[in-house]
């Protein structure tokens, strides 16, 4: 099996394909601390892409309450248990001094690709039962325990938090490795992972292999589907954006402003090109406050999380094993990092105004003229969002094509062939 370099685990690993890196990669940072679980992101995605028959249980974006919640149920603990059974005691990190090639140190255990036999299975995984997809928000707002005396930082005795989940558009996607028909593929131009609906035969190998369970089966078409990274918006071909690249629906709609999305440049060796002005690079590689979710699985996920401050460190280490090193380096979330997260890159050098910190209540009078000016800018900002909200024309175009297979995922591959 070819060897590829995975910088998140700090070493080479087995992967089905030789190439796994692009020149540019779709990436995102989510600040867990700010999420209020309003599910606006979930509904923005649902109402845009998965509102058709057969997609009722399909939530490309979901927000689950940890530690008990999960969609599908217990997806993460089941996978961790499978890995532990395949490589007993091996899920440990070598804490040697981090460097640019291995910023989190080295993972000493086996990835999901290395615990599979590489013949029958390309990646260790499991197929969730139908019931496990049925209640995406099971255990919503369920805390570990009630604390009658109250809680305080840094670690709460009773706790829960919200985990926002989309497809990670992994650098080494398990869904792509597992697909026997090569229907799942990764785009060269931005690293978005799609499933070609014309090639897919619904074997569900991708559903089984994806450790994050973000590939899903649609019974009405008998094919698998997954998050498409709103690629018409990302590439600027959505007719309503007039050729201007936009963030995805879930990022744009987020009420808590927890999400930051963009493209990062990637070097031939798979490392991100150094660019401290790119907020994604800054949060992931400079401040190291944004961490990948379960990097030990080996897919090199491209969604990063700023961990919740109040959660016991042991649990955070389970979620983001590099947490211990990152926490040592940046014990408290620096204010300027938060500001970076709050400034969408499309807002221009001055920002869009609405994300700036509001003055203290006592100073409101003094700041009133500036606030009025901000208010005007905010209103025009929101008008623009409203106009751009529903890329219905994209869907109409598919319907006009007259084929149920002419889905956005297939359309992307057709365009690429041309
Ligand atoms: S999260 Fe799952 S579905 Fe998405 S690219 Fe990675 S392996 Fe594939
Ligand atoms: S829209 Fe934003 S704040 Fe609301 S649930 Fe989604 S990620 Fe959290």
pLDDT top residue among 377 and 139: 139
What whole-number distance in Å separates Cα of residue 44 and Cα of residue 17? Answer: 34
Check if 216 has its Cβ closer than 6 Å to any atom of ligand 1: no
Other Cβ atoms less than 10 A from the Cβ of 324: the count is 16
Check if 35 has its Cβ closer than 6 Å to any atom of ligand 2: yes
Check if 61 has its Cβ closer than 6 Å to any atom of ligand 2: no
Q: What is the mean pLDDT of residues 390-403?
A: 34
Check if 46 has its Cβ closer than 6 Å to any atom of ligand 1: no
Burial class (CB in 10 A: 0-12, 13-18, 19+), 96: exposed
Check if 79 has its Cβ closer than 6 Å to any atom of ligand 2: no
Longest dimension (CA), the chain: 70
User: With 50 as the cut, is the pLDDT of residue 278 above it?
Assistant: yes
pLDDT top residue among 323 and 242: 242
Query: Which of 30, 33, 41, 140, when mutated, tests ligand 2's pocket best, judged by the most ligand atoms within 8 Å of its CB?
Result: 41
Cα 148 to ligand 1 centre (Å): 41
Q: What is the pTM of this model?
A: 0.79
What is the percentage of the chain residues whose pLDDT exceeds 90? 59
What whole-number distance in Å separates Cα of residue 306 and Cα of residue 293? Answer: 10
218: which 2 tokens?
């649609």
Check if 171 has its Cβ closer than 6 Å to any atom of ligand 2: no
Q: So what's the pLDDT on residue 413?
A: 60
Indicate which atom in ligand 1 lies nearest the CA of residue 214: 3
pLDDT tens digits, 32-73: 999 999 999 999 999 999 999 999 999 999 999 999 999 999
Check if 44 has its Cβ closer than 6 Å to any atom of ligand 2: no
- Check if the beta carbon of residue 318 is closer than 8 Å to that of residue 67: no
Question: What domains, with CATH codes, occur in the chain?
Answer: 3-364 (3.30.70.20), 388-418 (no CATH)
- Check if the beta carbon of residue 35 is closer than 8 Å to that of residue 256: yes
Q: Tell how strand 11-14 and strand 3-6 pair up.
A: antiparallel
Indicate which atom in ligand 1 lies nearest the CA of residue 215: 3
Q: Which residues touch 34 (CB under 8 Å, ≥6 apart)?
A: 256, 257, 258
Strand partners, 65: 162
Task: Please tell me the residue having the least CA distance from ligand 1 atom 2.
Answer: 210
Task: Please tell me the residue having the least CA distance from ligand 2 atom 2.
Answer: 254
- Check if the beta carbon of residue 244 is closer than 8 Å to that of residue 263: no
Q: Tell how strand 161-165 and strand 3-6 pair up.
A: unpaired
135: which 2 tokens?
């209640």
Cα 61 to ligand 1 centre (Å): 13
Q: So what's the pLDDT on residue 17?
A: 85
pLDDT tens digits, 179-227: 999 999 999 999 999 999 999 999 999 999 999 999 999 999 999 999 9
**Shortest CA distance to 398 belongs to which of 379, 416, 385, 414?**
414
- Helix or strand or coil: residue 282? helix
The pLDDT confidence band at residue 368, using thresholds 50, 70 and 90, is: very low
Q: So what's the pLDDT on residue 408?
A: 56
- Helix or strand or coil: residue 364? helix
Check if 214 has its Cβ closer than 6 Å to any atom of ligand 1: yes
The pLDDT confidence band at residue 374, using thresholds 50, 70 and 90, is: very low
């Amino acid at each position: 099996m070819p060897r590829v370099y995975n910088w998140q685990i700090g070493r080479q690993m087995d992967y089905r394909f030789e190439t796994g890196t692009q020149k540019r990669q779709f990436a995102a940072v989510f600040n867990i601390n700010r999420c209020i679980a309003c599910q606006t992101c979930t509904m923005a995605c649902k109402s845009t892409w998965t509102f058709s028959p057969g997609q009722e249980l399909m939530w490309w974006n979901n927000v689950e309450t940890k530690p008990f919640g999960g969609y599908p149920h217990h997806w993460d603990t089941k996978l961790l248990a499978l890995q532990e059974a395949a490589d007993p005691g091996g899920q440990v990190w070598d804490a040697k001094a981090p460097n640019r090639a291995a910023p989190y140190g080295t993972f000493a255990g086996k990835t999901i690709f290395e615990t599979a036999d590489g013949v029958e299975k390309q990646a260790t995984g499991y197929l969730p039962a139908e019931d496990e997809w049925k209640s995406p928000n099971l255990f919503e707002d369920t805390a570990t325990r009630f604390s009658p005396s109250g809680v305080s930082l840094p670690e709460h005795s009773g706790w829960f938090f919200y985990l926002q989940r989309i497809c990670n558009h992994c650098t080494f996607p398990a869904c792509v490795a597992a697909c026997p028909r090569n229907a799942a593929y990764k785009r060269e131009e931005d690293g978005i992972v799609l499933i070609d609906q014309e090639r897919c035969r619904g074997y569900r190998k991708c559903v089984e292999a994806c450790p994050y369970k973000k590939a899903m089966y649609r019974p009405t078409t008998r094919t698998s589907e997954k998050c498409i990274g709103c690629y018409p918006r990302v590439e600027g071909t959505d007719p309503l954006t007039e050729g201007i690249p936009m963030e995805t629906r879930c990022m744009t709609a987020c009420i808590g402003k927890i999400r930051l999305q963009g493209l990062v440049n990637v070097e031939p060796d798979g490392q991100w090109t150094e660019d401290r002005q790119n907020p994604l690079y800054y949060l992931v590689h400079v401040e190291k406050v944004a961490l990948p979710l379960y990097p030990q699985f080996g897919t090199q996920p491209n969604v990063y999380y700023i961990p919740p401050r109040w959660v016991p460190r042991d649990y955070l280490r389970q979620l983001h094993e590099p947490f211990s090193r990152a926490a040592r380096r940046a014990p408290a979330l620096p204010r300027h990092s938060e500001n970076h997260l709050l400034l969408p890159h499309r807002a221009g050098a001055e920002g869009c105004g609405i994300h700036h910190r509001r003055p203290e209540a006592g100073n409101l009078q003094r700041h009133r003229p500036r606030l009025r000016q901000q208010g005007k800018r905010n209103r025009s900002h929101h008008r623009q969002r409203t106009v751009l909200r529903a890329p219905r024309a994209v869907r109409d175009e598919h319907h006009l094509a007259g084929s149920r297979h002419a889905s956005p995922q297939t359309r992307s591959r057709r365009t690429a062939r041309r």
